[in-house]
Amino acid sequence: ASRKLFDYIANAGTPLSTIIENEFSSQEIANTVWAYATINHRSPKLFEEIAKVTVEQLNDGEFYARELANIAWAYAKTGTRSPKLFDTIAEVAMSQDLLDNFNPQNIANTVWAYAKLGHASPELFDEIAEVAIPRINEFWSQGIANTVWA
């Protein structure tokens, strides 16, 4: 039953994109793509709409570190490429000093997402390394493995 609901929501069309743009908070955007990724439900149309809205909202400084990491993770988990979204996430994370707010899981999820999709962002990785190295003792084993793999 849940897959039917996910399909219905994803294929709702124009009204959905309007709702996402006008009504969804940054957390609701992150939670939506996270939910689709968690059940491994690919929805290119929905993810494309969410990427457009997210790129617009990112420049307004409305996102937190966890939301950025979860969005990147969800796109990678579903294999959904969105170069503009990933470029914007990197730019915003670096320009708004959000990386200092990334916890070890946010760091691991973000670098894993970029690597999984093959989206190169050397400057982002350099800045993440600067944040991660002094805090390496805070990482759990899987987080270290994911970060090193990326």
- pTM to 2 decimal places: 0.86
- Average the pLDDT over 98-115 and give the result: 93
Contact 61, 26 (CB under 8 A): no
Question: Cα-Cα-Cα-Cα dihedral of 73, 22, 5, 109, to 10°?
Answer: 10
Sign of CA dihedral 139, 128, 103, 51: negative
What is the C-alpha R_g of the chain?
Answer: 15
pLDDT band for position 29 (50/70/90)?
very high
Confidence of residue 88 (pLDDT cuts 50, 70, 90): very high
The CATH number assigned to the domain holding 62 equals 1.25.40
Predicted local distance difference test score (pLDDT) of residue 1: 43
- Domain holding 116, by residue range, is 2-149
